[in-house]
Amino acid sequence: MTQDQLTLYKLIVLYMLNKVSFPLTKAQVGDFILEREYTTFLTLQQAIGELIDTRLITAESIRNRTHLVITEEGKNTLHYFENRISEAIKKDINSYFRENELELRNEVSVMSNFYKATNGEYEAHLIAKDKEIELVNIKLSVPSEDVAAAICENWQERNQEIYKLLITNLF
């Protein structure tokens, strides 16, 4: 692999992150790039790692996902070198986002986690965001790890329904 190829993969990641108004997970970026066989898993990990090291993107681990966001420096870099990405690749990325944006956004804007509290019970922490605005942030104390895990799983699937229920009953 040449340095030019690695630079292209970095630019593709920057382009993807710049096209959305929400973080993408490392897995979401990987799914797109690897499904189209632009590069290998290890090369992609190297490209993402170098982007993080040079502060062109930031990475935040939430539960078992790594959320990626382009920085201002990353946007400036993309502006200068975007012409190195072929129009075909740009078209492919734009099409992918048109078809999958709602699903991608929902995946990163709904978060849940649980942990054992100091009192011996478990706490399920549930968050739903729209862009960077928290719509709801709920912490529930429950008696067991199984219940906390079930709540987190159900939150992922039913958050919109629960949010609507809260809004309807509280307003």
What is the pLDDT, as a whole number, of residue 55? 96
pTM of the model: 0.72
Q: pLDDT tens track of the chain, all 171 residues?
A: 677 889 999 999 999 999 988 888 899 999 999 999 999 999 999 999 999 999 999 998 876 778 899 999 999 999 999 999 999 999 999 999 988 887 887 777 788 888 898 888 999 999 888 766 888 899 999 999 999 989 988 888 888 899 889 989 988
Q: Is the dihedral angle over the CA atoms 62, 67, 72, 73 positive or is it negative?
A: positive
Task: Strands of 110-157 (E only): list them.
Answer: 110-116, 122-130, 133-142
What is the pLDDT, as a whole number, of residue 1? 64
What is the pLDDT, as a whole number, of residue 63? 62
Q: What angle do CA 98, 101, 107 make, to 5 degrees?
A: 160
What is the pLDDT, as a whole number, of residue 100? 87
CA nearest neighbour of 96 among 31, 156, 38, 8: 31
What is the pLDDT, as a whole number, of residue 131? 66
| Class of residue 121 by CB neighbours under 10 A (exposed 0-12, middle 13-18, buried 19+) | middle
Domains of the chain: 3-100 (1.10.10.10), 109-170 (3.30.160)
